[in-house]
Amino acid sequence: MLFKYKDDYQKIVYDLLSLVPNMDKMDRITDEIDWYQDDDSRNFYLWKDQNDNWSGLLGVEDKEQNLLIRRLILVPEMFTLPNCFKMLDELEKIDLGKKIVGSLETAKVCEEWEQAQNE
């Protein structure tokens, strides 16, 4: 299940962002969180798995007709395409009518998700 970011989730976001390569310094993570908080069109969504554990994070930018997925992070033991697809499915339910697209980092997963939707 996806949960829109709120300040109570800050430590969880820090932990999940620390899984990203080159995001190993606290100030880089803080800069990333600040960047999302500086604009209402950008949000984090945290994902709980079937065992009710915080296991994933989506960094999303609302681009009028599209939702740009800037970050798609899952803890290593949960990183599977089906789990990525679950997160994107849940995001689509939240923002009906908007096309989900990927950034350079997330495009492959987003394209595979879209293909699976069309099958």
In order, the DSSP letters of the chain are -EEE--GGGHHHHHHHHTTSTT--SHHHHHHHHHHHHT-TTEEEEEEE-TTS-EEEEEEEEEETTEEEEEEEEE-GGG--HHHHHHHHHHHHHHTTTPEEEE-TTTHHHHHHHHHHHT-
CB 12 within 8 A of CB 69: no
The predicted structure's pLDDT at residue 22: 84
CATH code at 27? Answer: 3.40.630.30
The predicted structure's pLDDT at residue 6: 93
Measure the CA–CA gap between 8 and 58, rounded to whole angstroms.
Answer: 17
Write down the pTM of the prediction: 0.93
Q: pLDDT, tens digit, for every residue of 46-73?
A: 999 999 999 999 999 999 899 999 999 9
- Per-residue pLDDT band at 41 (split at 50, 70, 90): very high
The residue range of the domain holding 109 is 2-117
Higher pLDDT, 44 or 22: 44
Q: Please tell me the total count of domains within the chain.
A: 1
Alpha carbon 52 to chain centroid, angstroms: 17
Q: pLDDT, tens digit, for every residue of 67-90?
A: 999 999 999 999 999 999 999 999
The answer, yes or no, to whether residue 96 has pLDDT greater than 80, is: no
Measure the CA–CA gap between 8 and 51, rounded to whole angstroms.
Answer: 20
CB 62 within 8 A of CB 70: no
